[in-house]
A = this chain, B = another copy of it.
Amino acid sequence: MPERDLRFLTELAAQLRVDSVRSSAAAGSGHPTSSLSAADLMAVLFACHLRYDFDRPDEPANDHLIFSKGHASPLLYALFRAAGAIGEEELLSFRKRDSRLEGHPTPRLPWVDVATGSLGQGLPVGVGMAMAGRLEHLPYRVWVLCGDGELAEGSVWEAAEHAGDEGLANLTLIVDVNRLGQRGPTRHGWDTGAYARRFGAFGWRTIEIDGHDPGQIDFALGDARNTRRRPTVILAKTRKGEGVLEVENREGAHGKALRDPETAIGELGGPRHVELRVHPPEVTSAPHRFEDGPLTLPEYEVGTRVATRTAFGEALAALGAARGDVVALDGEVADSTKVEEFAKAFPERFFEMYIAEQQLVAAAVGMQVRGWVPYAATFAAFLTRAHDFIRMAAVSRASIRLVGSHAGVAIGEDGPSQMGLEDLAMMRPVYDSVVLYPCDANQTAALTAEMASVSGVSYLRTTRGDTPVVYRPGERFPVGGSRVLRHSPADRATIVAAGVTVHEALAAADELAERGVPVGVIDLYSVKPVDVAALTAAATTTGTLITVEDHRPEGGLGDAVLDAVSELGPRVVKLAVRGLPGSATPQQQLADARIDRRAIVETVKRLL
């Protein structure tokens, strides 16, 4: 490396350190020490290897950079300042109310693709971005900066496996091995060989370097760019707090502004105004996209019996023909979720993520960054594995569609480990989420298509067994709506159900009607947002709502109804799965959980 370049990189790294100290000092909190360790790595990346046009963050050929160690946000913001993307004033607004420079990076900044701060998520999301690049035939690279501590997360190894096996050569992981976690030393300290053996076993090219030597860093980054058929991990030995005596390589210095920032800034040579020109991508190529076509949803005859998971699979395949931007991912259960229908029709746009639900959801998040419309499916029960990724997807303002099959006790014999009984409670609190739970095949097909244009995190819950088709093909089911399936002015109560319990509610209503007790039935297929108007009308006219759900009593349909009518104060009685099920037939399970037609009839009789 020429002496002139070396001097520039050294100056740039010093400025990044100074600015990390300054912004944290102005905030009175933050993670300067975690920023100092990675400053040289990022200086060389930005000056010599990143291809990014800060004026056009949406340029398809731009590289992507994920700060998986999101707490090193002072460094990221210092880089943005050096690149001229933000100014001095904004830099010093770090962590203040209304500032875009949050404690951990979020896409409030146009140059940040996804939110980070929950460790171990950057690499799996980066895998999704790298998959998208390959699908689009784009030359961009995905760079992920992570810490050594977060390599303990299993999600990192789900990603290592997927990237290694797929040979994602457009992905580079840079590990800032600074030896110290939050509480103390990491498991392997500076033993970069321990990490190299692991990544190597997973099929990665591994490079171990001194993370404070610009020459070694430059060589490693260049090597990563030139490596074919394999992803590369750069294991960089660094010192936490590098350059500041007060904190350098010391325990107990994590996540705090420096005690004496002025001395630190002096040690680092004072503030600078190095001008950094990040190279824009050399070519601006149009991303490859798949063709659109007319949408012809499957149609099911009223009165036949079809599983909603089947209708979902067939509708997804139809949607794939209509929209070239739809992709599907599955957790090695596509024959159960019925994503296999899409996989057969559009193998290029189907991604087998194997039994790795964190990577499944993370890949969807990564792909939507590039404008893809991902549907990710597995059993509803196993989506709980990806809870933290779903939560963070909302912070990332990501638009992903999740589909959970095998909901509830209605699966029957397989037993509680396979039953999605907590999924509605998991999905409803997700910021800005949409939660849908159809009861028949035509409704499922319509909602599957509807989801494609829903922004944010949306969720479709499907049922394993066949259920009667009650709606005609082509009917519309808007998000936030509901359907009144039984209603008369004489209704004594209203049963509110969704999914499999709609059919139990209808049977109960018919039986009660025969006995001279008319009750209404509402199909609340949109669990969030919920149809407040319809529920209010029912609560006002009958005064009694009975909610029935194949889900735990906490956090699901019943709670959604209670919330919708809470200021009105009708009597609400919740039927839900309260015990711990074992194995039994689906109908026995519904009966044992007391969410079947008989339980509904008995509840109505008790109440009236």
Interface residues of A (CB under 8 A from B): 27, 29-30, 70, 95-99, 101-104, 106, 108, 115-120, 149-150, 152-158, 161, 165, 181-183, 186-187, 197-198, 200-202, 330, 332-336, 340, 352, 354-356, 358-359, 381-382, 384-385, 387-388, 391-392, 394-395, 413-418, 421-422, 425-426, 428-432, 528, 551-556, 558-560, 562-563, 566-574, 579-580, 582-585, 588, 592
Q: By the criterion CB–CB under 8 Å, are B583 and A573 in contact?
A: no
Q: By the criterion CB–CB under 8 Å, are B335 and A417 in contact?
A: no
Q: How far is the CA of A182 from the CA of B334 in the complex (A)?
A: 9
Q: How far is the CA of A115 from the CA of B580 in the complex (A)?
A: 12
Q: By the criterion CB–CB under 8 Å, are A104 and B415 in contact?
A: yes
Listed by A's residue number, 24 A-B pairs whose Cβ atoms lie within 8 Å are A27-B413, A96-B583, A97-B585, A97-B588, A102-B416, A104-B415, A117-B417, A118-B381, A118-B417, A120-B355, A152-B332, A152-B356, A153-B356, A154-B356, A165-B187, A186-B354, A381-B388, A385-B388, A425-B554, A428-B554, A431-B552, A554-B563, A559-B559, A566-B571
**Residues from chain B with Cβ under 8 Å of A101 in the complex:** 583
- Which residue of chain B is the closest to A359 with respect to CB atoms? B154
- State whether A332 and B156 are in contact (beta carbons under 8 Å apart), knowing that A417-B117, A428-B425 are contacts in the complex: no
Q: By the criterion CB–CB under 8 Å, are B563 and A418 in contact?
A: no
Shortest CB-to-CB span from A195 to chain B, Å, is: 9
Q: How far is the CA of A316 from the CA of B547 in the complex (A)?
A: 41
Q: By the criterion CB–CB under 8 Å, are A563 and B570 in contact?
A: no
Shortest CB-to-CB span from A160 to chain B, Å, is: 8
Shortest CB-to-CB span from A514 to chain B, Å, is: 27
**Residues from chain B with Cβ under 8 Å of A201 in the complex:** 197-198, 200-201
- State whether A569 and B567 are in contact (beta carbons under 8 Å apart), knowing that A153-B154, A384-B388 are contacts in the complex: no
Q: By the criterion CB–CB under 8 Å, are B355 and A150 in contact?
A: yes
Shortest CB-to-CB span from A254 to chain B, Å, is: 8
- State whether A555 and B332 are in contact (beta carbons under 8 Å apart), knowing that A115-B417, A161-B187, A570-B569 are contacts in the complex: no
- State whether A417 and B354 are in contact (beta carbons under 8 Å apart), knowing that A384-B388, A387-B387 are contacts in the complex: no
Q: By the criterion CB–CB under 8 Å, are B154 and A358 in contact?
A: yes
Shortest CB-to-CB span from A391 to chain B, Å, is: 6
Shortest CB-to-CB span from A473 to chain B, Å, is: 29
**Residues from chain B with Cβ under 8 Å of A568 in the complex:** 569, 571
- State whether A415 and B117 are in contact (beta carbons under 8 Å apart), knowing that A333-B183, A569-B571 are contacts in the complex: yes
**Residues from chain B with Cβ under 8 Å of A569 in the complex:** 568-572
Q: By the criterion CB–CB under 8 Å, are B563 and A574 in contact?
A: yes
Q: How far is the CA of A51 from the CA of B588 in the complex (A)?
A: 39
Q: How far is the CA of A584 from the CA of B101 in the complex (A)?
A: 11
Q: By the criterion CB–CB under 8 Å, are B563 and A152 in contact?
A: no
**Residues from chain B with Cβ under 8 Å of A358 in the complex:** 154
**Residues from chain B with Cβ under 8 Å of A579 in the complex:** 431
**Residues from chain B with Cβ under 8 Å of A388 in the complex:** 381-382, 384-385, 387
Q: How far is the CA of A198 from the CA of B573 in the complex (A)?
A: 53
**Residues from chain B with Cβ under 8 Å of A117 in the complex:** 414-418
Q: By the criterion CB–CB under 8 Å, are B422 and A391 in contact?
A: yes
Q: By the criterion CB–CB under 8 Å, are B202 and A198 in contact?
A: yes
**Residues from chain B with Cβ under 8 Å of A426 in the complex:** 387, 422, 425-426
Shortest CB-to-CB span from A153 to chain B, Å, is: 6
Report the 6 A-B pairs with minimum CB-CB distance, sorted nearest first.
A154-B154, A117-B417, A555-B555, A569-B569, A157-B157, A97-B584
**Residues from chain B with Cβ under 8 Å of A102 in the complex:** 415-416, 582-583
Q: How far is the CA of A401 from the CA of B579 in the complex (A)?
A: 21
- Which residue of chain B is the closest to A543 with respect to CB atoms? B569
**Residues from chain B with Cβ under 8 Å of A425 in the complex:** 425-426, 428-429, 554-555
**Residues from chain B with Cβ under 8 Å of A153 in the complex:** 154, 158, 355-356, 385
Q: How far is the CA of A556 from the CA of B153 in the complex (A)?
A: 28
Most chain-B CB neighbours within 10 Å: which of A97, A387, A554?
A: A554
Q: How far is the CA of A426 from the CA of B387 in the complex (A)?
A: 9
Q: A559 is contacted by which of B330, B418, B555, B584 (Cβ under 8 Å)? A: B555
Q: How far is the CA of A183 from the CA of B377 in the complex (A)?
A: 13
Q: By the criterion CB–CB under 8 Å, are A97 and B158 in contact?
A: no
**Residues from chain B with Cβ under 8 Å of A551 in the complex:** 429
Shortest CB-to-CB span from A573 to chain B, Å, is: 6
Q: By the criterion CB–CB under 8 Å, are A555 and B115 in contact?
A: no
**Residues from chain B with Cβ under 8 Å of A334 in the complex:** 183
